[in-house]
Chain A
Amino acid sequence: MDTREKDIEKLKDYKYGFTTDIENIKAPKGLKEDVIKFISNIKKEPQWMLDFRLKAFERLKLLKEPNWQKPKYPKINYQDLYYYSAPKSMKDKPKSLDELDPKLLETYKKLGIPLQEQARLNGIAVDAVFDSVSVATTFKGELTKHGIIFCSMSEAIQKHPDLVKKYLGTVIPVTDHFFATLNSAVFTDGSFVYIPEGVKCPMELSTYFRINASETGQFERTLIIADKGSYVSYLEGCTAPMRDENQLHAANVELIALDDAEIKYSTVQNWYPGDENGKGGIYNFVTKRGLCKGKNSKISWTQVETGSAITWKYPSCILKGDNSIGEFYSIAITNNHQKADTGTKMIHLGKNTKSKIISKGISAGFSDMTYRGLVDINSKAKNSSNYTQCDSLLMGNKCGAHTVPYIKNKNFDSNIAHEATTSKISEEQLHYCQQRGLNPEEAVGLIVNGFCKEVLQQLPMEFAVEAQKLVGISLEGSVG
């Protein structure tokens, strides 16, 4: 076996599949008012936060789980889940990284995010979320100098209640759909970012999510506010251990961009996808929504979706401010028995708003992938435009690729253009590459990377390399 084959052998397994043996504090199982009070209590939340949760819970009782999506899944028993799980040592929160449980640090090292080293070396500020709580945030000092707030959600609720109160739930209201409302009721932690007026955030902010405990749902909530004229680039990465059962991940992410502000949100999602036979894996049902509230604001979503048994999410932009811009770049790769139903919504409300959607889907094995998107240009959104391109690549005839765009144009000044293609890698391309000495796997890797290039270019440097590797790994074994 030559080294390359060995490498492949090594990569074939999900390398983040380990578990960390750590004592946990868990809330009692089940979805009840008591559990919500328990979560709120253990986090020492103020009354208004508890009211917010309870209001969502009341609403949740009236809602039914949606079932219009393409990938169907067995019914989730919401009473049989833990809604809160935290490493025991976190109870008395460490003041600095030195006090952190060494086992936790070890875990993050395995994941490729050595928090301590990172604090010194490459200038990315990381907020690490382990199961239900945020365990560490790096680079605090540097950020505080600029007046940037980057901390865990729980900390923000304690220290910056005004900001949280003002913006939380304004983009994704508690009365939204089932999973968003569930999150509003039981969310545990997440990241909070506030960029003050006129500040360009000097480094990439990053969060790493990990589900460790079994039978636990992860419900994190992220809120990013970019005040007038500011800029921030935010990265998100996710992994989980290998388990036979399916785990639920229902996060809410809210972005708010005020006048002239820009938010760039990148995700590399690599939750455990289940084994080759489709056993286990994460259900990734996430609600992500950005509001371009001010004039000339911009929100850009970039996602590389390679993990999860089922991915079901639509990062959206509400273009409310005049001249605001929404962008969505996505690569979704499904292999084996993975299923994905993903896309975006661009809702044009303000004048001269522009949006761009580039979506690349690759399905292999027995997987099924759907692009579902909405472009809605309101009658008041004069002179707006949208461009959508979604391409799918199929490998083998056991998989499926679907495109379901909804296009609504209510404004005669506005233009919408939509294009979609579905094809396979052509024999000519493969032949060409092989003739020049690449083996079939390498050839496919090269072609797929070219196919995804438009999206990969949008990722920040550090992520682009990781994502490119991920694209290669996810498709191992699908050629032939």
Chain B
Amino acid sequence: MSEQLQSDFEKLVKTSKFSNEEIQFKKNFLNNFIEKGFPNRKQEDWKFLDISQIIKKSISDLSFFNDYSQSNKIDPSIFIDGLEHNKIIFINGRIEKIDFNFEDQKKIEIIDEAKNDISFDNENSLIDLNSAFTDKVFKILIKKNYTLKKPLIIYHSTNDKIKSTNINLRLDFDLGENSCLKLIDYFGNSTAKNFINIFYNFNLEKDSILKNYKIDKFRNNNLRYSFNNIEQGHNSVSETFILSAGSDYFKNEINCNLNGEYSSAFINGIFSLKENQQHEIRTTINHLVENTKSHQLIKSVLGKNSKSAYQGRIFVNSKAQKTDGYQLSKAILLDETSEFNAKPELEIYADDVKCSHGSASGSLDENSIFYLMSRGLNYQQSKELLINGFLMDVVEKITDLEIKNLIINIFGLKQ
């Protein structure tokens, strides 16, 4: 693999306009990745779903080269109707358009540069891969006291020009004091098998609010990995919602550092899987100062041959008194072949804290089905109603009404 990585990297350098300094910078990451390789099950964080095996099995000849010099045509049919929004369109590994038409242009600044450091200790080789092969890194700055009027939707799509390729994307967001951003990641249903590696960096200043929604609904054969690093200042709020249902493989990693007092993080997720899908959510919440709060709720509905994993970690520093941390994961297994794995972890060094986690998994409650059937529903209807209620619980946590309705419509839930 290392020869191919080298040669693909050479090709990338030839076709794009990186400066010498940038090339050197990327080369370091490439070497790191060559040394480490894809993560495998020997690493604790990848114990349940081994990405190196999954890639080997489903993409035989993975190519790392992506021609950033050619632009792609934007197909407007992928856009979401009925909701006015700003757009970032990302096709075949290339950002084709950044459009903030609804906003005050003075309040948003977009900086692009290929050289962009990683602010945290990185041991994850996929971040190295991302840093080595990604095109321009855009940084979006939202100025002080500005609340975006409309949500920003990032469209992730590929067309048939691209196959068995590793695509990398990195975006940095900087939310100034008292600003607010609503962000939706919308994953398309292109069918070709690609490995898509997404890395977002968020910096939330004092009193800012981030609402971060990820929608992967439509069945597709891509393998996806998404890593979000969220740094939170005083009294800032981050809300993340993950709908994980479409791709063959999808791992969402959220690393959240609560650096400022009174900051809080909320993570909610749904797995709705069938036929050989393997999805995972891994969260790390670091409570570093006093009076911080985190809340997580993850629910899975698992069909035939599917597998979901949830690894949640709450870390409480010895300084972080009065921390409130909560995790709950629940799973319904619908078939003999479905599998649920969980590792909810607490690591606590302060005594005046309230931390708890719970995890439950099992089949649908036969008594509830009996109850519904005795009131005239058939078996299938009762089952659907119960699952609907089970998942609505998570969707109800979405604080933005407009987006909540959008997700309910996309997902086809009943209210």
Q: Which residues of A contact B (CB under 8 A)?
A: 68, 379, 392, 394-424
B313 smallest CB distance to A (angstroms): 9
Known: A400-B347, A422-B353, A424-B351. Contact between A412 and B363, CB under 8 A? yes
Inter-chain contacts of A413 with B (CB < 8 A) = 363
A407 and B353 contacting across the interface, CB-CB below 8 Å: no
A409 and B348 contacting across the interface, CB-CB below 8 Å: no
B345 and A403 contacting across the interface, CB-CB below 8 Å: yes
A422 and B348 contacting across the interface, CB-CB below 8 Å: yes
A-B contact pairs, 15 of them (CB 8 A): A392-B346, A399-B351, A402-B347, A405-B342, A405-B343, A408-B340, A409-B362, A410-B339, A412-B362, A412-B363, A413-B363, A415-B361, A416-B359, A418-B342, A423-B355
A396 and B348 contacting across the interface, CB-CB below 8 Å: no
Alpha-carbon distance A402/B339, docked complex (angstroms): 26
Alpha-carbon distance A416/B359, docked complex (angstroms): 8
Please provide the 3 A-B residue pairs with the shortest distance between their CB atoms, ordered closest to farther: A415-B362, A412-B333, A394-B351
Inter-chain contacts of A399 with B (CB < 8 A) = 349, 351
Inter-chain contacts of A68 with B (CB < 8 A) = 44
B346 and A402 contacting across the interface, CB-CB below 8 Å: yes
Known: A397-B350, A409-B339, A421-B355. Contact between A416 and B362, CB under 8 A? yes
B196 smallest CB distance to A (angstroms): 28
Do most interface residues of chain A lie in helix, strand or loop, or is the interface mixed? Answer: strand
A400 nearest CB neighbor, chain B only: B349
B354 and A423 contacting across the interface, CB-CB below 8 Å: yes
Known: A418-B344, A422-B346. Contact between A412 and B335, CB under 8 A? yes
B163 at the interface (CB under 8 A from A): no
Inter-chain contacts of A414 with B (CB < 8 A) = 362-363
Alpha-carbon distance A68/B42, docked complex (angstroms): 11
Other-chain contact of B336, A411, A416, A420 (Cβ < 8 Å): A411
Inter-chain contacts of A402 with B (CB < 8 A) = 345-348
Alpha-carbon distance A186/B278, docked complex (angstroms): 45
B360 at the interface (CB under 8 A from A): yes
Alpha-carbon distance A421/B361, docked complex (angstroms): 19
B341 at the interface (CB under 8 A from A): yes
Alpha-carbon distance A403/B350, docked complex (angstroms): 14
Inter-chain contacts of B183 with A (CB < 8 A) = none
B352 at the interface (CB under 8 A from A): yes
A423 and B344 contacting across the interface, CB-CB below 8 Å: no
Inter-chain contacts of A395 with B (CB < 8 A) = 351
Known: A405-B359, A416-B360. Contact between A397 and B345, CB under 8 A? no
Alpha-carbon distance A264/B411, docked complex (angstroms): 51
Alpha-carbon distance A395/B347, docked complex (angstroms): 15
B168 at the interface (CB under 8 A from A): no
A420 nearest CB neighbor, chain B only: B357
B252 at the interface (CB under 8 A from A): no
A271 smallest CB distance to B (angstroms): 25
B334 at the interface (CB under 8 A from A): yes
B358 nearest CB neighbor, chain A only: A419
A415 smallest CB distance to B (angstroms): 4
Point out which of A397, A403, A417 has the most chain B C-beta atoms below 10 A from its C-beta.
A397
A423 smallest CB distance to B (angstroms): 6
Alpha-carbon distance A217/B350, docked complex (angstroms): 35
Q: Which residues, 361 to 384 on B, are CB-close (under 8 Å) to A?
A: 361-363
A401 and B348 contacting across the interface, CB-CB below 8 Å: yes
Alpha-carbon distance A421/B314, docked complex (angstroms): 12
A409 and B343 contacting across the interface, CB-CB below 8 Å: no
A391 nearest CB neighbor, chain B only: B356
Known: A408-B339, A412-B338. Contact between A423 and B353, CB under 8 A? yes
B339 and A421 contacting across the interface, CB-CB below 8 Å: no
Inter-chain contacts of B331 with A (CB < 8 A) = 409
B321 at the interface (CB under 8 A from A): yes
Alpha-carbon distance A404/B345, docked complex (angstroms): 5
Inter-chain contacts of A394 with B (CB < 8 A) = 348, 350-351, 353
Alpha-carbon distance A219/B339, docked complex (angstroms): 39
List 17 extra interface pairs beyond A68-B44, A405-B359, A412-B338, CB under 8 A.
A402-B348, A403-B346, A404-B345, A405-B343, A406-B341, A406-B343, A407-B342, A407-B361, A409-B362, A412-B333, A414-B363, A415-B360, A415-B362, A416-B359, A419-B358, A420-B346, A422-B353
Alpha-carbon distance A379/B363, docked complex (angstroms): 13
B318 and A398 contacting across the interface, CB-CB below 8 Å: yes
A69 smallest CB distance to B (angstroms): 12
Alpha-carbon distance A397/B316, docked complex (angstroms): 11
B318 and A409 contacting across the interface, CB-CB below 8 Å: no
A360 smallest CB distance to B (angstroms): 15
Known: A405-B343, A419-B356, A421-B355. Contact between A412 and B348, CB under 8 A? no
A114 smallest CB distance to B (angstroms): 42
Inter-chain contacts of B339 with A (CB < 8 A) = 408-410
Alpha-carbon distance A201/B333, docked complex (angstroms): 43
Alpha-carbon distance A183/B358, docked complex (angstroms): 37
Inter-chain contacts of A416 with B (CB < 8 A) = 359-362
Inter-chain contacts of A404 with B (CB < 8 A) = 343, 345-346
Task: Give 1 or 0 for each of B310-323: 1 = CB within 8 Å of chain A CB.
Answer: 00000000100100
Known: A397-B321, A411-B333, A418-B358. Contact between A392 and B348, CB under 8 A? yes
Alpha-carbon distance A405/B331, docked complex (angstroms): 16
Inter-chain contacts of A422 with B (CB < 8 A) = 346, 348, 353-356
Alpha-carbon distance A137/B357, docked complex (angstroms): 46
Inter-chain contacts of A403 with B (CB < 8 A) = 344-346, 357
Known: A418-B358, A419-B356. Contact between A407 and B333, CB under 8 A? no
Inter-chain contacts of A398 with B (CB < 8 A) = 318
Q: Which residues, 202 to 248 on B, are CB-close (under 8 Å) to A?
A: none
B126 smallest CB distance to A (angstroms): 22
Alpha-carbon distance A406/B347, docked complex (angstroms): 15
A417 and B360 contacting across the interface, CB-CB below 8 Å: yes
Other-chain contact of A407, B338, B349, B359 (Cβ < 8 Å): B359
Alpha-carbon distance A408/B49, docked complex (angstroms): 12
A412 nearest CB neighbor, chain B only: B333
A412 smallest CB distance to B (angstroms): 4
A421 smallest CB distance to B (angstroms): 4
A407 nearest CB neighbor, chain B only: B342
